[in-house]
Amino acid sequence: MLPPHFMRYLFIEIILPLLLFALLRSVLKSIFGVASNSSSRASQPAPSSPVEVAGGELMRDPVCGTYVSAALSVKRAIKGETVHFCSSECRDKYRVA
């Protein structure tokens, strides 16, 4: 059996600092959203474009249901009527009935 003074040393000098480090790392990660390694950043897709703010009327995308500003929407004329889409991907998926 290990001597009591060694057990105290092991706990105070090694185990307790490791537990505090893990707790602090977890808290900081949840606050700042810090990635644990750089490879997770590389696997995430890059943002397609910066967010633009525009006022005006909101139009509903018929494909995904997202509301988008009429000024910033991707437009397509269908049967003489302008249809608004949130992205070119939704525009391309749209099927005319």
Give tens-digit pLDDT for 15-43: 999 999 999 998 888 888 755 555 555 55
- CA 22/CA 27 separation, integer angstroms: 9
Phi, psi of 72, rounded to the nearest 5 degrees: -105, -5
Against a cut of 0.85, is the pTM above it?
no
Q: Which of 22-31, 46-55, 60-69 has the lowest average pLDDT? A: 46-55
pLDDT of residue 11: 86
Question: Please, how many CA atoms are within 13 Å of residue 72, restricted to the half-sphere of its CB?
Answer: 15
**DSSP code of 41?**
H
Residue 9, sorted as left (phi over 0), alpha (psi -120 to 50) or beta, turns out to be alpha
For the segment 5-14, the average pLDDT, to the nearest whole number, is 87
